[in-house]
Amino acid sequence: MHDSIYQHGDDLVITQRTPVSDSVVELTLQRGNGGRLPDWAPGAHIDLILPSGRVRQYSLCGDRWQAHQYRVAVQRDPRGSGGSQEIHDQLRVGDRVRFGGPRNNFRLAPATEYRFIAGGIGITPLLPMIQQAEHLNILWRLLYLGRDQRRMAYRQLASRYSNQVTVHTSGHGHRASVKQWLGTPDPHTLVYACGPEHLLDALPDECAVLPPSQLRLERFSSPLADVPVSRESFDIVLSRSGRRITAKSSDSVVNVLSDAGIDVITSCSRGVCGTCEVGVIEGRVDHRDALLDDDERSRNDCMFPCVSRSLSDSLVLDL
Amino acid sequence: MTSLAASRCPFSGATGAPSSSADGPATHEAPRIASTAAVVDVDPFDEAVLANPHPMHEQLREAGRDLVYLPQYDTYAVARYEVVRETLENWQDFASGAGVGLSNFNREEPWRAPSLLLEADPPRHDAPRAALEKILGPRRLRHYESGWMDTAHRLVDSLLGQGIGSTRELDAVTAISEVYPLQVFPDAVGLTQGGLENLLPYGNFAFNAFGPRNRLVTDEMESIKPVMAWVAQQCPREALSAEGFGADIWARTDHRDLTEEQAPMIVRSLLTAGVDTTVYGISAVLYHLASNPEQYQRLRNDPSLVRRAFEEALRLESPVQTFFRTTTREVSIGGTTLPTDQKVLMFLGAANRDPRRWENPDAFDLDRNPSGHVAFGSGIHQCAGQHVARLEAACILIALLERVEHLEFAAAPERKINNTLLGWASLPLRLHTT
Ligand code: FES
């Protein structure tokens, strides 16, 4: 029996599109039926599967107390491989994208004080962290670095929290001293930084005053970022019986199996709880769950068929 | 939105409270308020109801609305599948931080320091939850699987003897359900100091304490104190072995993912929620298999159905029957607006037998796909130990299936009474071995 409300698809509709700087557009995304989206915590990102099949990761920068929408902010990158340009040039309000996750490699751990360092669009995962620190009444400061004021999104933070936010632009040649800004922090301080490679690479030295476990970095690029998702159908092969079932790329594997008379037990149907895990013997999984980290994904030995599909033409499952 | 002043007590427009009568459900809808909760004058914590809650569940589900009002506790309740699941998942509107029992921590002192998991909301809930999810996740548990399977085989062999073709009578609760989890779980946590006999009374008390201060709670008030002291002694890093769930929790403090104040509290959560629940879950599946011999044969013929058998038993029995939430703001359920800081009682057991969601809901049926039952909850507070429970149940069931040709009741089973848990004090079984 399918339960209509809890067998969610992974389609999102763009319900708002707001420029938040000269080069950054913020998208608000909701389910077509307005339903609840999977829960997330600051530091989480989702995979967006664009109409072209490109898959890109974006940090969630909205408000987790609004359970029915996600927000992401996308910087146009003329030198990138086309994902950001597709979003800027082609995606309009009402268009649909698919999503995976949310996943979180950048969790906000408990601390007595937070120091946030944003380089450019690296501000996005830090926004919900700031909201959360405010909520918990924990001291925080933000160093917001960019090349050019006009390209920096959410600059209003600086006026809203003028005592806590330091904005520094390098447009005129001089670079910011993170070391100076950090000073001598409370020993239980955690530093969270997101930005371009050259910024993050310099931080362990700049933050040497704190032990390495107190510096948390989020890099933009994921090793799995550039796998295009097929729009075609794929085959599911059941290793124990040798049976072969064809799935449309838009079907959930759980539903395809169930239509073929094979019930996988699910609970959340959202890739969150881990109940439906199935072993993968051959084939490349299009992972869309919130459970596996990048290493576990690339091992390719299991999948969560309530949300995940296939990148290869066939997927041999331990069923 | 409906005006709230009137609907907080749905009786405000009525002349008197209805009383229950033997020949019909005591339900009606309060007059004059356009849309309001159905009033059902039942006491879910009455001992006779706790022993057999299903008729009351039906009354709550069929009272005509998604939202029910229980005058005796001045509490709202939900019992239909969809609204229970929605309430479970909607942590933004329905908080756990004010306690998941009847007592409202915003106004009353809890009996112990609140749990960082069960009785906490985001953001405070985030780090403890993330830690436990990984530590108790299916991939980590694989490490324990063969050891737990061996222990299950040893237990079953010791109960049945080596002989073949014999018959054994035993009480499955005291011989299997209360034994097996204690043989594997405390070890996996890393308890080293003995005193394991404290675990069941502790869990039993904690689950009673979610209900009202009735006899089930007050009778144990004194005897629980040394048990609480024992539990507290098991949680520091030095008390735990170098490997295990407890050590894994503490290791997170080295990486600053948890604080040193949080770690012992999270170990305590394992000890509170990790034993009684699995005991009750194993009893549930044994009860339903003994009650349905043809389903037991199906399972014997196809042991790959063990997981489904366990889930189906959890659906029917719902060892954890109820939890409360507390509204964080005005919230509307089924057209009725609840005020802020209002307790809402969720009947998981009623949702799991809601005919709106399940065909032939009272049947134990291995042809059914029990996916989506809410016996483990749903959403951010969904049981963090669910994979532990499943693995324990699968191991002991597989070991039994290998040796037991069929099983039947040797005498009538007896209910155990707890304010929150539904289970068995005694399951006298006759086991015929191969
Ligand atoms: S059902 Fe929860 S992860 Fe698939």
* pLDDT one-digit tens code per residue, A171-230: 766 777 899 999 999 989 999 999 999 999 999 999 999 999 999 999 876 555 456 676
Asked if A3's CB is within 8 angstroms of B357's CB, the reply is yes
The verdict on the CB of residue A199 being under 6 Å from ligand 1 is: no
* pLDDT one-digit tens code per residue, A249-274: 778 899 999 999 999 999 999 899 99
Minimal Cα–Cα distance from A109 to chain B, Å?
Answer: 5
Atom of ligand 1 nearest to the CA of B371: 1
Residue A31 Cα to ligand 1 middle (Å): 19
Q: What integer is the mean pLDDT of B221-249?
A: 97
Q: What integer is the mean pLDDT of B339-346?
A: 97
Does pLDDT of B345 surpass 60? yes
Backbone phi, psi, residue B329, to 5°:
-160, 180
Q: Compare CB distances from A213 to B126, B255, B262 and report the shortest one's residue.
A: B255
Q: Compare CB distances from B311 to A67, A265, A269 and report the shortest one's residue.
A: A265
* pLDDT one-digit tens code per residue, B247-296: 999 999 999 999 999 999 999 999 999 999 999 999 999 999 999 999 99
In chain B, the N- to C-terminal Cα span, in Å, equals 65
Atom of ligand 1 nearest to the CA of A273: 2
pLDDT for the residue numbered B408: 96
pTM (2 d.p.): 0.91
The b/e string for B161-186 (b: 16+ C-beta within 10 A; e otherwise) is: eeeeeeebebbbbebbbbbbbbbbbb
The verdict on the CB of residue A266 being under 6 Å from ligand 1 is: yes
Q: The tokens of B300 are what? A: 């014997």
Q: What integer is the mean pLDDT of B365-374?
A: 96
| Residues of chain A in Cβ contact (below 8 Å) with chain B | 1, 3, 5-6, 36, 39, 41-42, 64-67, 104, 107-111, 132, 135-136, 190, 213-214, 258, 263-269, 273-275, 277, 291, 296, 302
pLDDT for the residue numbered B11: 32
pLDDT for the residue numbered A222: 55
pLDDT for the residue numbered A231: 64
SS3 state of residue B91? coil
Consecutive sets of 10 residues in chain A, 319 residues long: mean pLDDT of each? 50 96 97 94 95 92 97 92 92 95 94 97 97 96 95 95 94 80 93 94 94 91 58 88 89 90 91 93 92 88 93 92
Does pLDDT of B318 surpass 80? yes
Q: What integer is the mean pLDDT of B236-246?
A: 98
Minimum CA distance residue for ligand 1 atom 3: A271
Residue contacts between A and B (CB atoms, under 8 Å): 84
Q: What is the DSSP string of B129-198?
A: HHHHHHHTSHHHHHHHHHHHHHHHHHHHHHHH-S-SS-EEEEEHIIIIITTHHHHHHHHHHTB-S--GGG
Does pLDDT of B9 surpass 50? no
Q: Considering only alpha carbons, which residue of chain B is nearest residue A136?
A: B123
Across chain B, what does the average pLDDT equal?
A: 92
Asked if A296's CB is within 8 angstroms of B139's CB, the reply is yes
Q: Considering only alpha carbons, which residue of chain B is nearest residue A266?
A: B371
Q: What is the DSSP letter of A135?
A: H
Asked if A213's CB is within 8 angstroms of B138's CB, the reply is no
Q: Compare CB distances from B369 to A1, A273, A274 and report the shortest one's residue.
A: A1
CA torsion B50-B51-B54-B56 (nearest 10°) is: -40
Residue whose token pair is 């022993």? B51
Q: What integer is the mean pLDDT of B14-22?
A: 35
Does pLDDT of B25 surpass 50? no
Q: Can you tell me the ipTM of this complex? A: 0.91
* pLDDT one-digit tens code per residue, B244-256: 999 999 999 999 9
Q: Compare CB distances from B372 to A6, A64, A214 and report the shortest one's residue.
A: A6
Q: What integer is the mean pLDDT of B65-74?
A: 95
pLDDT for the residue numbered A202: 93
pLDDT for the residue numbered B8: 33
pLDDT for the residue numbered A227: 61
Does pLDDT of B432 surpass 60? yes
In DSSP terms, B28 is beta-bridged to B39
Residue A305 Cα to ligand 1 middle (Å): 8
Atom of ligand 1 nearest to the CA of A307: 4
Residue B240 Cα to ligand 1 middle (Å): 32
Q: The tokens of A171 are what? A: 């447009």
Residues of chain B with pLDDT > 70: what percent?
92
Contact A53, A44 (CB under 8 A): no
Nearby residues of B38 by Cβ (< 8 Å), 6 or more positions away: B27, B28, B29, B63, B64, B65, B67, B68, B69
In chain A, the N- to C-terminal Cα span, in Å, equals 20
Q: What are the distances in angstroms from CA A178 to CA A116, A208, A213, B103, B338?
A: 11, 11, 18, 49, 50
Does pLDDT of B30 surpass 60? no
Q: What are the distances in angstroms from CA A73 to CA A45, A122, A167, B338, B362?
A: 11, 10, 19, 36, 49
Cα–Cα distance measured from residue B374 to residue B213, given in angstroms and rounded to the nearest whole number: 26
pLDDT for the residue numbered B35: 58
Q: What integer is the mean pLDDT of B119-142?
A: 95
